[in-house]
Amino acid sequence: MRLSDWPLPYVRLSCEFCEREGKLATEKLIGWFGPDADMFTVREELAKPRCKKTNPKDICKSKLTDALLVDAILEPDIAKVLKKDLLPEAREWRKKLGIKIDEFDGSKGSEE
């Protein structure tokens, strides 16, 4: 996913080793990395220099805190949403952000 495809106004990062959670405005990040920057790269660039992992051989376990929420916001097929608990929140965000997505449930197979 590209930074410009990230629907939320902010990007949150957390890491098992790093003490604090980071939250940055998406707009600011686009200014730094450009709209085409991959979310994976953005996460790495942001987390690595500040990672507090104690063993240098450990891999920074940073993750995008809202990755599953974003999945739920952008996935029209309910059957494919990874964390269905997040659907109510995802719908709220769609409303707030003016994202029009027609949900359907692919597991039900409507054509018969």
- Footprint of Zn ion (CB under 5 A): 15, 17-18, 51, 60, 62
- The rounded radius of gyration (Å) of the Cα atoms in the chain is 16
Residue 17: strand, helix, or coil:
coil
Question: Which residues are 13's β-sheet partners?
Answer: 22, 64
Measured from the CB atom, the residue of 1 and 18 that comes closer to Zn ion is 18
Q: Smallest gap, in angstroms, from Cβ of residue 60 to Zn ion?
A: 4
Measured from the CB atom, the residue of 58 and 85 that comes closer to Zn ion is 58
Q: Smallest gap, in angstroms, from Cβ of residue 53 to Zn ion?
A: 6
- Ramachandran quadrant class, 108 (left: phi over 0; alpha: psi -120 to 50; beta: rest): alpha
Measured from the CB atom, the residue of 55 and 110 that comes closer to Zn ion is 55
Q: Are 46 and 59 in contact (CB under 8 A)?
A: no
Measured from the CB atom, the residue of 64 and 73 that comes closer to Zn ion is 64
Q: Smallest gap, in angstroms, from Cβ of residue 2 to Zn ion?
A: 23
Q: How far is residue 17's CA from residue 30's CA, in Å, rounded to a whole number?
A: 26
